[in-house]
Amino acid sequence: MFDKILIANRGEIACRVIETARRMGIATVAVYSDADQDALHVASADEAIRIGPAAAMESYLLGEKIIEAALATGAQAVHPGYGFLSENAGFADACADAGLTFIGPPADAIRAMGSKSEAKALMEKASVPLVPGYHGVEQDSTLLAAEAEKIGYPVLIKASAGGGGKGMRIVRTAEEFSASLDSARREAASSFGDERVLVEKYLTAPRHIEVQVFADSLGNAVYLFERDCSVQRRHQKVVEEAPAPGMTEERRAEMGEAAVAAAQAIGYQGAGTVEFIAEGDDFYFMEMNTRLQVEHPVTEMITGQDLVEWQLRVASGEALPLSQSELSISGHAFEVRLYAEDPQRDFLPATGRLLHFETPPPSRHLRLDSGVRQGDSVTVYYDPMIAKLIVWDEDRASALARLRAALTGTHIVGVTTNTAFLAAVAGHPAFAEGGVDTGFIERYAADLLPAPAPLDDQILALAALAEISAVKQEATRAAAVSGDDGSPWFQTGGWRLNGDTQRRLLFQEGDQDFAVDLRYAEGTLIEAAMPSGDTLTLQGDLREDGHLRADLNGRVVSARVLRHDQDFTVLHAGKSHVLHLLDPRNPDLAGEDEGGQLTAPMSGKIVAVRVQAGEAVEQGQVLVVLEAMKMEHSITASHDAVVSNVFYADGDLVEEGAELLSLETSED
């Protein structure tokens, strides 16, 4: 076994590998980019080496730098994780040339499966069932159109070199074929530098079922059963489970044996996944991923095996830990991928700082694979996956109940996430029935992506109480400091300190304003005139941890209110609202440029600096345009001012919070 390994990755998978290595007494070396200097994977490893700037092209994709780091630290082997260099045959070769063990399959096996067309040709020879289609070398447009006709519409055009759902086009009629072919080729060329495509029958209601395989260098190969990953958006997985609902023993063995045959046909070693598409009683080979898969934890939960340990043992020359007959399935597991993305905006990736990151505590039933901590940022540079929640129980229904509970107890503030969307999937009756197909999300979009719930009085009242509590607590602290905590001034409810008996709170959600008029009533009771026209009596105190037990019109409700500056995240009855409290004295400036600085609201790229130092600007004028995650954001002047300094130029990459320029107001 190795004494020391290097992990050529970041985020949750780097942390995941480090954990197993540590348990096995193997020392670990992390690599990191400038954006990841303080990242969890760096803190978790025994040693860490900087390999370059934030952009993956200049860091995590630089095989040479990574190999240099391994040699410099005396690591004997390199674990590539997934993504990045994990399916790069050239990198696997370069490791071998440098005398390092690549913890993955032989480079030739990666090559064999790297092209979906060639992989299909190989599988045909190994008698693995294929989706009817054309996967030849000939790429003439007329020939491809004729093949599509033969297959019968609808067909799917796929980039041979594809991955991550890119370069795929569904074609429903012969008339659309030529335009779709052109656009698939363009996307394939720009994403993979290879415009070759294949055409196959498009199955309209299939399930994605994949088989985990493992092979060692001694000729042994096994399958560790299947995973169902049919819940997908944009052909990418969101929820995975094992075993697949409705799977029979015969079919499991049939698919497992087909997957092992596929692996053996290419001299496979290590962990691999053979992906099948299934419809009715038929299943067809789709592709093989020659690496550990994102969703491997569900297999670990039902088999009780640690697949990273298996990878390390096989790579160091040991035999597979178990034979086929020693493997069995126990219970049921689900995994959900928590992404920084906005399901309401076509799952557009999001960025930001994780001001609050909370899940229920891990247990025998709940596993959290995460690469971030509270306070860390999700940037534009890397994959927006924040963490994975994995649950296990004796049967599917119980595991699903655990999944729902885990999601209800998950609170992320500061970054838009898909948590509520995942909870809607986990709570959907069609999903509970089991065996949904890949069209599930689209079919039930209305249920899964409901219009944002309107803001009701209760939510507003809870935010108002949180603000009152904060003012009160501030007063108590001030009293303690002043040593005069017996003074009646500090005993009463918040704002009365200032001599007022009324106060208006102005909250904002999106672009809507909500005014709550508070009036001091009896004792600690407050009367609140709500936007609906109703009046509520409020009472309650916010605890440090954000728990709020409130009495609203005599009804006691429990909620969480997490506050960050002027933003209140109210969690109540499964709903989550972010309310911004406007500063009444300075509503336009609230939350922006303190001390005349203008900072980047998120990490991104400067597409245009519209002003120069010395220039006078007016309130509302666009100063800088920032592009982050495919969207442009205009940064405007909050008041009339003169630009004193500009710190970036067009094309620069900036981190969230970076000072972009400084302003001097006329009074300064």
Would you tell me which residues interact with ligand ADP (CB under 6 A)? 11, 82-84, 131, 156, 158, 162-165, 200-203, 206, 208, 232, 235-237, 275, 277, 286-287, 289, 293-295, 382-383, 385, 438
Task: Count CB atoms within 10 A of the CB of residue 384.
Answer: 21
Catalytic residue among 16, 291, 503, 563: 291
CB closer to ligand ADP out of 212 and 289: 289
Answer with the entry of ligand ADP, Mg ion, none that 232 interacts with (C-beta below 5 to 8 A by kind): ligand ADP
Answer with the entry of Mg ion, ligand ADP, none that 136 interacts with (C-beta below 5 to 8 A by kind): none
Whether residue 129 is preceded by a cis peptide bond, meaning omega within 30 degrees of 0, is: no
Closest distance to ligand ADP from the beta carbon of 403 (Å): 18
CB closer to Mg ion out of 177 and 440: 440
Per residue in 112-130, is it b (16+ CB within 10 Å) or e — as a string?
A: bbbbbbbbbbbbeeeebeb
Closest distance to Mg ion from the beta carbon of 527 (Å): 59
Strands (E), 405-501: 411-413
Question: Per CB under 5 A, which region of 18-26, 224-232, 271-279, 579-587 contacts Mg ion?
Answer: 271-279
Per residue in 320-338, is it b (16+ CB within 10 Å) or e — as a string?
A: bbbeeeebebebbbbbbbb
The secondary structure of residue 140, as a DSSP letter, is -
Question: Per CB under 5 A, which region of 89-97, 145-153, 268-276, 296-304 contacts Mg ion?
Answer: 268-276
Phi, psi of 467 (to 5 degrees): -65, -45
Closest distance to ligand ADP from the beta carbon of 173 (Å): 16
Q: Which helix (H) or strand (E) segment is 665 a member of?
A: none
CB closer to Mg ion out of 21 and 109: 109
Task: Count CB atoms within 10 A of the CB of residue 461.
Answer: 26
CB closer to ligand ADP out of 195 and 200: 200
Answer with the entry of Mg ion, ligand ADP, none that 40 interacts with (C-beta below 5 to 8 A by kind): none
CB closer to ligand ADP out of 381 and 520: 381
Residue of closest CB approach to Mg ion: 275
Residue of 62, 67, 117 lying closest to 85 (CA atoms):
62
Distance CA 57, CA 398 (A): 44
CB closer to Mg ion out of 159 and 528: 159
Token code pair at residue 448:
């899964």
Closest distance to Mg ion from the beta carbon of 287 (Å): 5
Q: Strand pairing of 47-52 and 27-33?
A: parallel
Residue of 167, 206, 162, 172 lying closest to 187 (CA atoms):
167
Distance CA 84, CA 9 (A): 7
CB closer to Mg ion out of 36 and 275: 275
Closest distance to ligand ADP from the beta carbon of 120 (Å): 10
CB closer to ligand ADP out of 110 and 461: 110
Answer with the entry of Mg ion, ligand ADP, none that 236 interacts with (C-beta below 5 to 8 A by kind): ligand ADP
CB closer to ligand ADP out of 343 and 494: 343
Question: Does residue 496 carry a catalytic annotation?
Answer: no
Specify whether the CB–CB gap between 466 and 458 falls below 8 A.
no
Show the CA angle centred on residue 339, arms to residues 335 and 345, nearest 5°.
125
Distance CA 192, CA 585 (A): 54
Answer with the entry of ligand ADP, Mg ion, none that 83 interacts with (C-beta below 5 to 8 A by kind): ligand ADP
| Per-residue contact flags (x/-) with Mg ion for residues 273 to 302, judged by CB under 5 A | --x---------------------------
Residues touching Mg ion: how many (CB under 5 A)?
1
Secondary structure of 280-293 in the HEC alphabet? CCEEEEEEEECCCC
Secondary structure of 181-245 in the HEC alphabet? HHHHHHHHHHHHCCCCEEEEECCCCCEEEEEEEEECCCCCEEEEEEEEEEEEECCEEEEEEECCC
CB closer to Mg ion out of 241 and 275: 275
Residue of 364, 453, 434 lying closest to 402 (CA atoms):
364
Secondary structure of 647-664 in the HEC alphabet? CCCCCCEECCCCEEEEEE
Answer with the entry of ligand ADP, Mg ion, none that 356 interacts with (C-beta below 5 to 8 A by kind): none
Residue of 653, 553, 636, 652 lying closest to 588 (CA atoms):
636
Answer with the entry of Mg ion, ligand ADP, none that 191 interacts with (C-beta below 5 to 8 A by kind): none
Instruction: Give Rg (Cα) of the chain.
Output: 28
Residue of closest CB approach to ligand ADP: 83
Answer with the entry of Mg ion, ligand ADP, none that 11 interacts with (C-beta below 5 to 8 A by kind): ligand ADP
From the centroid of its chain, how far is CA 123?
33
Token code pair at residue 562:
């997490």
Closest distance to Mg ion from the beta carbon of 286 (Å): 6
Answer with the entry of Mg ion, ligand ADP, none that 84 interacts with (C-beta below 5 to 8 A by kind): ligand ADP
Distance CA 401, CA 211 (A): 25
Answer with the entry of Mg ion, ligand ADP, none that 377 interacts with (C-beta below 5 to 8 A by kind): none
By the criterion CB under 5 A, which residues form the site for Mg ion? 275
By annotation, the residues acting in catalysis are 291
